[in-house]
Structure 1
Amino acid sequence: MKKTLLLLVALFFLSCEIEYDGETKLVVKGKVLLENNLPLSNHEVKLFVRRESSSIPFIFYVPSETNFVGKATTNENGDYTMVIPKPKSNYNEIIIEINSNSPYHKRQIRNIDSDDFSNFELNIGTEKLFQRENLANLYINLNQVNANFQFLNINYIGDYTDEIKYFKPLSDEYIDYFDNLSKLVKKNQELVIQWEVRNNSTNIVSTFEELLIIDEQESIQFTINY
């Protein structure tokens, strides 16, 4: 029993901080555009490595931890490159923060890990920032009116964004599903909402769509009856 406790204590001290491979470097590249598709130059991009808290009851508790490990500034074309030390296995995700405090909306790319890098390099592609004052909050309400029908997914056609984007789908489908029921949408546009519903009695999947006029309102509620 005493040896087990000593081993657990040793593991605690070994894992109390996020560790990095100081000899191995990772390269992150991307581009930042404005809502009018013009490049955003001289804009700071940051990178964080995060770990969730963990514990063994009555033995030890490791708090959550977020390390700021890299930053870059976009050039005249909106492109950026940053080099970071490779985090070891005791972390949960790499987070790229495109924007946090400016006239533009907040933007993070999350759920990245070192396995997503090819030859130590990752290009996250192009991210578009909207003026905060030009965005409205759209909320989708689901109203099941037929017990045989199952709501499958939803898609948006138009100018929209999210404060958080997952580089790859989350393993928890429940979280993925509900994250997609709210969007930041650009004001003064025609937004098409598409959704799929399965009839579990016939196993037939039907697609529906509706045109939604987005005006100057700050918040919009839209109900889907299925």
Structure 2
Amino acid sequence: MKKLLSVFSLLFFFISCEREYDGTTRYVFDTQVLDKNNQPLANIPVQLYFNSYYSFFGNQDDGNVFMTTKTDSNGNVRLVFPFPTQNSNAVGIIEIGESTNYNSDNNNFTFINFQPSNFTNFYLRETPVTLFSKNELVNFQTIVNNTTINKSVSNIEIEGSQFIPFKDFLANNQNNYYQNFAKLEKNQTIILKYTVTDYQFNPATTEVISVSIDVLETDLNYTITIN
């Protein structure tokens, strides 16, 4: 632990001069980075930011990196850091992958909006992160073609292998972020589920629809038509 704190001291130069940080309390964040075959990914860049307010998908308010490191030979990464003290709403953001390198082979993953309350005894261990290579995924878009004002579509969900590029610690239902767009692994059959609500009845009725869709090698659009 002393070694970790000495490493942290060296990285303290990344602190934004516009923020004040707790000089005594340290939080520890652990996770592991794997490929889709559960093999560890070494030397993956990891960056820690802080934001003054709720962040959607890792948007930083000042762009300053607080700390940087890389995964070890076993894909593990540990960050030891304080939280800002002058703003109780401040949230942490951890980016895994080369977010600014569009030529990188792998997609990026981001932990967003974590706060001290997410830690137990100042420690947080997250389940391993799986990074897909960009050439292993296709874009899938759901288009709703609603031809009537009497019905609506909601709760669009996908059952299958997909890459969700973040975990939001403040989201009630993370799947809601990607009701209409997803990154799916190639060459699989997914189940698309959605709910149709019919307001012509009192009370309104609902029906859950399930559709099997083959995902091959190219991007795919699927249109839900409601009459």
Q: Is this contact kept in 1: 2:157–2:175, CA < 8 A?
A: no
Q: Is this contact kept in 2: 1:138–1:185, CA < 8 A?
A: yes
**Can you list the C-alpha shifts for 1:4-53, whole angstroms capped at 9, x where unaligned?**
xxxxxxxxxxxx9232112111111112110122222332322111236x
Q: Does 1:82 align with 2:79?
A: yes
Per the alignment, residue 187 of structure 1 pairs with: 186
Secondary structure of 1:37's match? coil
| Equivalent-residue separation in structure 1 for 2:196 and 2:86 (angstroms) | 40
Per the alignment, residue 13 of structure 1 pairs with: none
For structure 2, the 5+ residue unaligned runs are 1-16, 54-59
Per the alignment, residue 223 of structure 1 pairs with: 223
Secondary structure of 2:63's match? strand
Q: Does 1:140 align with 2:138?
A: no
Decide which structure has the larger Cα Rg and report it. Answer: 1
Per the alignment, residue 43 of structure 1 pairs with: 44
For structure 1, the 5+ residue unaligned runs are 1-15, 53-62
The one of 122, 126, 133 aligned to 1:124: 126
**Can you list the C-alpha shifts for 1:131-153, whole angstroms capped at 9, x where unaligned?**
11121111111122343323221
CA-CA distance at 1:98 after TM superposition: 1.1
| Equivalent-residue separation in structure 2 for 1:150 and 1:203 (angstroms) | 11
The answer to which structure has the higher strand fraction is 1
| Equivalent-residue separation in structure 2 for 1:158 and 1:40 (angstroms) | 23
CA-CA distance at 1:180 after TM superposition: 2.9
| Equivalent-residue separation in structure 1 for 2:47 and 2:156 (angstroms) | 31
Per the alignment, residue 151 of structure 1 pairs with: 153
- The alpha-carbon distance between structure 1 residues 18 and 206, as it changes in their structure 2 partners (threshold 3 A), is farther
- The alpha-carbon distance between structure 1 residues 80 and 166, as it changes in their structure 2 partners (threshold 3 A), is same
- The alpha-carbon distance between structure 1 residues 22 and 67, as it changes in their structure 2 partners (threshold 3 A), is farther
| Equivalent-residue separation in structure 1 for 2:214 and 2:68 (angstroms) | 39
* One-letter code aligned to 2:125: N
- The alpha-carbon distance between structure 1 residues 122 and 66, as it changes in their structure 2 partners (threshold 3 A), is farther
Secondary structure of 1:87's match? coil
**TM-score scaled to structure 2, two decimals?**
0.75
Q: Is this contact kept in 1: 2:195–2:206, CA < 8 A?
A: yes
Per the alignment, residue 98 of structure 1 pairs with: 96
The percent of aligned pairs where both chains have the same amino acid is: 27
| Equivalent-residue separation in structure 2 for 1:103 and 1:112 (angstroms) | 27
* One-letter code aligned to 1:38: Q
Q: Is this contact kept in 2: 1:22–1:86, CA < 8 A?
A: no
**TM-score scaled to structure 1, two decimals?**
0.75
Secondary structure of 2:126's match? strand
CA-CA distance at 1:177 after TM superposition: 4.1
